[in-house]
Structure 1
Amino acid sequence: MSWKFWQKSKDDKPKKKKTKTREWVDAIVFAVVAATIIRVFFIEAYTIPTASMERSLLVGDFLFVSKVNYGARVPMTPIAFPFAHHTMPITGTKAYWDGVQWKFHRLPGLSDIKRNDVVVFNYPQGDTVALEQQDVDYYQMVRSEGWAAINSRYTIVSRPVDKRENYIKRCIAIAGDTISMANGLVSVNGKAEPLKNTGEISYEVVFKTPDVNPSVFEDLGFNISDDIRSTMTPNVYTFNGTAEMMADVKKLDFVQSVKVFTAPPHEREGDIFPFDRNRDWNVDNFGPIIIPKKGWTVKLDSVTMPLYERSIRIYEGNKLEKSATGWLINGKAADSYTFKMNYYWMMGDNRHRSADSRYWGFVPEDHIVGKALFIWMSYDTNGSFFSKIRWSRLLRGIH
C-alpha cells in the first residue's frame, strides 16, 4: 500500500490567481464578444437622425431593431472594429477590412417582410461614396456635375453591402408587386394604399391676413422653422403635417384655404428613378413598376432596362453590355433575365421630405438589416430642460 495517498497531487496545487488587469481584460473581451453576437444575430439599437419618417418616427427616437424577425444576416464583412459601422468615430478612418468577403446568407427568420413593415436596410446606392460629401448621393452628384468633375474633386471609395449607410423606411411593396403613384396616392397591385395617419405631406395654406401669431401653430404641434415655409406669393405658405394637424389649421379663423400640394402629372423631375428622359415621372406621379421577384423573368428592351439595369449589373453581379443587336450578360447574348433575389420598394412616411425608393429604386434582399420593433427612448434636442425626454413615446411599438 502506498503511504503517499495523503500527499497532494500536482493537480491539487493552488492555481495562480489572476491579476486585476487580467480579470478586467477577460471581462471586457467577454462583454465585447457577447454584445457583438447580440447585435449581429438578435437585436440592435438605432437612432432616427432625419425627419423622413415623421410623424411615425421622430428625430431623436431611439429604436430596437430585431434581426430575428426576418432572419439574421451573417456578416458579409467579418473583419471589422466592434461597435463601429463603416467609419471610426475619432480618426475617421475605415472601421473594417474588406479583404475578406463572405457571400450573402440569412438565417431562418420568424416571417417574411410584409407591406407596411418599418424596415432598416443598407442604402442601395451607398456602394460608392465621396468621402468629403458622405451625406450626398454619389450617383446624384455624377448626374448633376459629371463623372470627371466628381472623381477629380473628391476621394471616392467603395463600400461592401453590410457597411453601407443604414436607412429606415416603410416597406410599401414587396417582391412581385406592381406599384404606382398618382397625385400623391400610392397604389399597390391596383389597390390604393393610403398614407398612415401619422404620415406627413405638404399643403398649400392661404391666410386672410399677414398678421398671424406663429405660436398658434406651435400649439398645434408644428415646428415653425421646419414645417412652415413662406412662398413668393403674399399670405401663401407651404405646411408639412399630418391630416389631423391640417384639419386643425383649417379651423383657424384667419385661414382662407388649405389644400394638398402635389407635383402636377407629367412634370418630369430629373432625380426620380429610373432617371429616364422618356418617363415623365415625379415625386407624386410614377409607375407602374413591377418589383423584381426571385425567379421572375423580364424581357430586356429599351422600356425595361432603365428600371432593371442596376439590379442586374450591380446588385446581382453580372457583366452587362450593350451590343449592336441587343444585350450581353456575362459575354452571352440575352433578350431576357431571371432575377436571383427578391426586391422591395421603401418609402418614408414624410412623403415630401424623404429620400426613398422614388429616388434610388429597389432595395435588394441582401441589403435588409432588420425590423423596427419599438422606441426605447425619445429625446427632443429642441425641448426645454424638463421636456427633452418625450415620455409618451417610451416603449411605444412601431407600426
Structure 2
Amino acid sequence: MSWKFWQKNKDAEPKKKKTKTREWVDAILFAVIAATIIRVFFIEAYTIPTASMERSLLIGDFLFVSKVNYGARIPMTPVAFPFAHHTMPLTGTKAYWDGVQWKYRRLPGTSDIKRNDVVVFNYPQGDTVALEQQDADYYQMVRNRGWKSVNSDYTIVSRPVDKRENYIKRCIGIAGDVISMKGGLVSVNGKQEKLKNTGQMTYDVVFKTMDINFSIFEDMGFNIQSDDIIQSGNGYQFNATEDMMNEVKKLDFVQSVTLTVKPDGEREADVFPFDPNRNWNVDNFGPFVVPKKGWTVALDSATMPLYERSIRIYEGNTVAKSGNGWLINGKPATSYTFKMDYYWMMGDNRHRSLDSRYWGFVPEDHIVGKALFIWMSYNTNGTFFNKIRWNRLLRGIK
C-alpha cells in the first residue's frame, strides 16, 4: 500500500464528533480562562462591604475596578483556585498554594495614582490573620491582649500580598507628600484639603425640644434605620456631610451644631505609628513624609516608629536595634533608601473608617486598581420594590 493511498483513505475517514460532555467541558474551560485573564489584567468586579466611604460609596454598591489605569499586577501567587480570593467559599480552606511565589511586577499603566483617586488595594496589615477573627486586625489584637494570648487562643496564618483582604479608600497622599491633620482637616504639603462634598464627619446636635419628628431628617437624606443619627447624652450625634449639616442648622428647633473631633494632644493608642512619644489621634497627627522610591531617611528614634514596618515587612529587610543605632540586614545603618512608592489612604466617612490612620502606608505592590464606576447598587434595607438604587446605576466614581 502506497503512502499516498493510505493518506487519501485516512483523510476520507470521518472525524470523530465531540460528545456533549466534551463540548461542555471545553466551553467551561475556555470561559474560565478568558474570565481569569480579564479579571487579572483588565477589569474586576468589587462590592462595597462597609460604610467607610459613605456617602461617596454606599454599602451594596457594585463597582468595576480597572487594572489598566495603574498597570495590571502580575499574580504574585500564581497557583490559586479561579474566582476565589484567599478562602474557598464552602470548605473555608485556603484557595491558593503559596509554595510558588513570584516577585512583584506590574505592567505599564495609562496613569499614575493621583490624589483623590478612589483606589482598591490589599490590606497592608493583612499579612497575619487570626482565622477565627478575620474581621479584626491581628496587630491591634496583639497590642490589646498580648502576643502570647492571641497566638494561643486563635489559629494564626500568614497571607501573601495579593491574597490579603481588598480595601477601598481615597488616596490622600502620594509618594513624597507631607501629610498632617489638625481638627479633622487634612493638610497635604502644607495646603489644607477639605473633605469631598460626599464625605462625612460626626456632629453633636442639641435640640430646643425633645418633641422631634425625625421623618424631617429622612427627607433631608439621613438614613434613620442606620446609625446616621444616634442619641448621645443630652443630644444626638449626626454622621453627615457638611452640606447636610448646614441644612440641619437652619431648622428652627435646632439649638446648636458642633463638629465632633478629638482634642489636639489627646493620644489614641491604636493610631499609627503607635508611638508613646507622639500624642496623635484620628483628627490630629503629623506632619510626616510618605515614603517615595529613592528617598533616603535618617534612622533615629523619631523616624523608626514611622518607617520601621515599611523597611522590615514591605521591603523585606531584617531590622534590629543595636545600642543607640540600628542594624539593617545585619549591618550598621544610619539611613535607609526606599525601594518602593507608598500612599496614604483614608475613608470619606472619616470617623467610621479603618484606614491609614490605623495602619500607616500602603506600598505600591499592594495596589490592585482604580475604581471606575458603579454598575449596580442594592439597598439591603429597602423594600421589595426599592432595593435597587436606580439613580446610582452606571454612575462614575469621583
| TM-score bucket of the superposed structures, by smaller chain | over 0.9
2 CA distance for matches of 1:11 and 1:67?
47
Percent pairwise identity: 81
Deviations 1:184-220, CA, capped at 9 Å, x for gaps: 1100001111100000000010011111122221221
Question: What 5-or-longer segments of structure 1 have no aligned partner?
Answer: none
Structure 1 residue 146: Cα displacement? 0.3
Q: 1:90 matched to which residue of 2?
A: 90
Task: Report the Cα distance in structure 1 between the residues aligned to 2:371 and 2:74, rounded to whole angstroms.
Answer: 19
Measure the CA separation in 2 of the matches of 1:382 and 1:98.
39
C-alpha separation in 2, matches of 1:7 and 1:255: 94
Give the number of equivalent residue pairs: 395
Q: What amino acid is the match of 1:251?
A: K
> Residues of 1 paired with 2:310 and 2:108: CA distance?
24
Matched residue, 2:272: 273
Matched residue SS, 1:103: coil
1:325-347, Cα deviation, whole Å (9 max, x unpaired): 41100110101000000000000
Residue 129 of structure 2 corresponds to residue 129 of structure 1: yes
CA gap of 1:12–1:203, structure 2 versus 1, over 3 A, is same
Partners of 2:338 and 2:242 in 1: CA distance: 39
Shift of 1:12: 3.4
Secondary structure at 2:227 match in 1: helix
Aligned to 2:227: 226
Say which SS state the counterpart of residue 149 (structure 2) adopts: helix
Distance, in Å, in 2 between the alignment partners of 1:142 and 1:57 is 31
Q: How far is 1:247 from its partner?
A: 1.5
Residue identity in the other structure for 1:67: K
Deviations 1:113-141 (A, max 9, x none): 00000000000000000000000000000
Q: CA deviation at 1:7?
A: 9.2
For 1:193, the equivalent position in structure 2 comes to 193
Secondary structure of the corresponding residue to residue 237 of structure 1 = strand
- What is aligned with 2:77? 77
* Residue 264 of structure 2 corresponds to residue 262 of structure 1: no
Cα distance per residue 1:285-329 (max 9 Å; x no partner):
000010000000000000000000000000000010111241100
Matches of 2:184 and 2:208, distance apart in 1: 27
Counterpart-to-counterpart distance in 1, 2:288 and 2:347: 18
Q: Secondary structure at the match of 2:236?
A: strand
Counterpart residue type for residue 232 of structure 2? T
2:341 equivalent in structure 1: 342
State the match for 1:291 in structure 2.
290
Distance 2:102 2:260 in 1: 47
Match of 1:216 in 2: 216
Displacement after TM superposition at 1:243 (Å): 1.1
User: CA offsets, 1:31-57, max 9 Å, x none?
Assistant: 000000000000000000000000000
Counterpart of 2:149? 149
Instruction: Identify the residue that residue 352 of structure 1 maps to in structure 2.
Output: 351
Name the CA distance, whole Å, in 2 between partners of 1:11 and 1:175: 65
Secondary structure of the residue that 1:9 maps to in structure 2? Answer: helix
Aligned alpha-carbon RMSD (Å): 1.3
> 1:1-399 alignment to 2 at 5 Å?
8-224=8-224, 225-232=226-233, 234=234, 236-399=235-398
Which residue identity lines up with residue 314 of structure 1 in the other structure?
I
Equivalent-residue separation in structure 2 for 1:316 and 1:396 (angstroms): 37
| Residue 6 of structure 1: how far off its partner (Å) | 12
- Displacement of 1:9 after TM fit? 3.5
The offset of 1:8, in angstroms, is 3.9
Distance 1:227 1:146 in 2: 34
**One-letter amino acid of the structure 1 residue matched with residue 304 of structure 2:** M
Amino acid in structure 1 at the alignment position of 2:27: A
Structure 1 length normalisation: TM-score? Answer: 0.97
Q: Secondary structure at the match of 2:44?
A: strand
1:345 and 1:395 mapped to 2: Cα distance? 28
Query: Quick one: distance in 2 between partners of 1:258 and 1:7?
Result: 91
Q: Please give the alpha-carbon distance, in whole angstroms, between the structure 2 residues aligned to 1:177 and 1:11.
A: 70
Measured in 1, the distance between the counterparts of 2:7 and 2:327 equals 82
What is the TM-score normalised by the length of structure 2?
0.97
Q: 1:349 to 1:7 in 2, by over 3 A?
A: closer
What SS does structure 2 have at the residue aligned with 1:295?
Answer: coil
Q: Which letter maps to 2:229?
A: I
